[in-house]
Structures are given as C-alpha cells and as structure tokens.
Amino acid sequence: MNTRRSLVVFLCALSGAAVAHAQTWEPDAARLRLEVSNGFQPWSTSMVATPGTRIEYRVVLDYTGTRSDLFALGEALFQPTIRNAGLAALGATYLPNGALTQADGASIMALPQYGRVGYLRPGTTPVNSNMMTNFRHTGGFNGAPPGDWMRVAGSFVSQWPRALPSGTDVTADDINRLLRGIACTQLPQSVSPTDHITGTTGLVLFRGATTFEPTDGFMMEFSTFRESLRRWGGVSGASEPDDRRYIAWQTGPTDSGSGLTGHRTGVVIQSAIVVIPAPGAAAVACVGLVLASRRRR
C-alpha cells in the first residue's frame, strides 16, 4: 500500500471512529429534578412551609431526548445540595450500605434512614470508609460557592468538586470527588436480573430530609450541580481536557451503560424551592418566578 493510500485509509478510519464516538453523546437530553414534600402534600418542585417543618426531598431522573431505544439507567453521579441551609439545618441519617426500595422513593412519608433508591452498585459504603455524609459550607469554605450550604456526598468528598476545563491539572482527588459522591449505577440486566431497574423516566435516585429551626421570610433551594456529575475525561492529568458532564444509559439488557458502548447525555438541573414566608409578605406569589430563575444547565 502506498503512502498516499495509507493516509486516506487512516483518515477514513479516524473519521468513522469520530462518528461512532459522537453517537454516544446527546446534549441536554436528561433532566435531574429535585422535588419536595412536607410529608402530607404530593411531591412538587415548589412548596410553601411553616417554620420548623420537616422537609422531605428526592432526586428524580428523566430522559428527555429523542431516542426510543434506550433501556435503562447505566450510571448517574451527583451530590444533592441545599442552599440557605445554615447551621440550624438538621440533615438526615443515611443507610450505611444497601439501598432504599422503589416504594420508599415513591412515598412522601418520613423514613428512618435515607440514601439511594435502588441501583445497588454503591460508591458510598462502610467497606471503603466512604459513608454518606452531610457537609456544611459557609462563606466559600472548602471551595463552595458563597452562602450557606448543606451537601450530601461520601465522606471522602469534603472539598466541593470543581470545574475541570481544558488546561486544568486534573488530579486523582478531583476524579475521586466525583466517583465518591452519590453513585447510582447498575450492572446489565443479563448479569444481575433480580435487582435491575428498567425505564428511562421518573427514576427516583435518592431521598433525603432536613428540618430547620423556626424561621420566617426564608427561602431554600434543593438542587445539585454540574461539577458533581461524571466527567467525560475521566482520568487524572492535564491530557484529559474534555470537561463535558454526563449521565450514561443502557441500550439493552447486556449493556453496562458506563463505557463508550452506552449512550451518554448532557444534563439539565431543575431545582426545588421551599419558601417560609414572613408574616404579611408576598413571598408565596414569588415561588414560581424564583423556581423559573433557578432552572439551569
């Protein structure tokens, strides 16, 4: 084979590989939404509460793209947050291992312990000393944004995960701050049929709860954030510049969904807002506007 023909063959192969790689990525085709309840009202993305209310919350995943052949979730990494939590907020206690049931995910009732709903390949277990933990961040502590926050992640992840764009020196700790967050993953159905969860919409991934000291004129945002999601350039080193964040899906019963054989989607995050209005204030009327302003990618 001459040099010119070799170059053409190489370029064609490279082009084909690029197309195959691109087919695994669908921008903003998933939605992680937070929902709240007071234990009496149905799950919602907005709620008005009275001082001292115990607030139940959950993380729900929907595939919103155009493909009709996706089979199930492969992997989702995230870390729930509460903005305006303050030191007065009491966080939930979490299961040291195992997972909640699908019925627990649907229920609005208080639970004795909280955590992942199904998806039994945990990244947070007592075996690797990485227990689900409530972290407090005030005034930018440990890399957090300004304000008062509560964040749920594995005990390793005391530092708020950061953006890792091209040119960043990506460390092993940077990657572990994602992997040891809240990891909802599952084996292919063909490997683990008894605990496999099919479907691509309305998937409840996590349940939590919190109680605040009595406070009037207060607003809390329940959410998560892009920097806690799985990163495409998933190993350490400055040579891994791709900072796209994604959720991976299984395309059939034999697909793990966590590698390049699966389908990856970008994520839109939808917060939930809880307002404790001040007496006589018009805060209730603002809930919809606040929620709309907090919807982000």
Whether 9 is covered by a domain: the verdict is: no
Strand partners, 136: 150
pLDDT tens, position by position, for the chain (297 residues)? Answer: 443 333 333 233 333 333 333 447 899 999 999 999 999 999 999 999 887 888 999 999 999 999 998 999 999 999 999 998 866 677 889 988 778 999 999 999 999 999 999 998 877 777 767 899 999 999 999 999 999 999 999 999 999 999 998 888 899 999 999 999 999 999 999 999 999 999 999 999 999 999 877 666 788 999 999 999 999 887 777 777 889 999 999 999 998 887 556 799 999 999 999 998 877 654 444 444 454 444 444
- pLDDT at position 79: 97
C-alpha torsion sign, points 31, 209, 43, 196 = positive
Domain of residue 135: give its range.
24-294
- pLDDT at position 23: 46
The structural domain count of the chain equals 1
Whole-model pTM: value is 0.86
We report the CATH number of the domain holding residue 229 as: 2.60.40.680
How far from 165 is each of 85, 177, 235, 241, 262, CA to CA, in Å? 29, 16, 13, 6, 23
Whether 261 is covered by a domain: the verdict is: yes
C-alpha torsion sign, points 163, 30, 58, 291 = positive
- Beta strand residue intervals within 90-180, DSSP E: 90-91, 115-116, 132-138, 148-154
Whether 8 is covered by a domain: the verdict is: no
Whether 42 is covered by a domain: the verdict is: yes
- pLDDT at position 7: 34
Q: Which residues contact 129 (CB under 8 A, 6 or more apart)?
A: 155, 156
CA distance 266 to 249: 11
Q: Are 222 and 210 in contact (CB under 8 A)?
A: no
Whether 12 is covered by a domain: the verdict is: no
- pLDDT at position 51: 79
How far from 217 is each of 5, 50, 198, 278, CA to CA, in Å? 72, 10, 42, 4
Q: Are 25 and 67 in contact (CB under 8 A)?
A: no
How do 132-138 and 54-63 pair as beta strands?
A: unpaired
Whether 3 is covered by a domain: the verdict is: no
Among candidate residues 93, 96, 115, 120, the one with its CA nearest the CA of residue 104: 115
Paired tokens of 106: 């649907």
C-alpha torsion sign, points 162, 167, 173, 177 = positive
Whether 11 is covered by a domain: the verdict is: no
- pLDDT at position 13: 34
Q: Give the phi and the psi of residue 103 in degrees, each rounded to 5.
A: -65, -40
Whether 1 is covered by a domain: the verdict is: no
- pLDDT at position 20: 37
Strand partners, 38: none
CA 239 to chain centre: 26
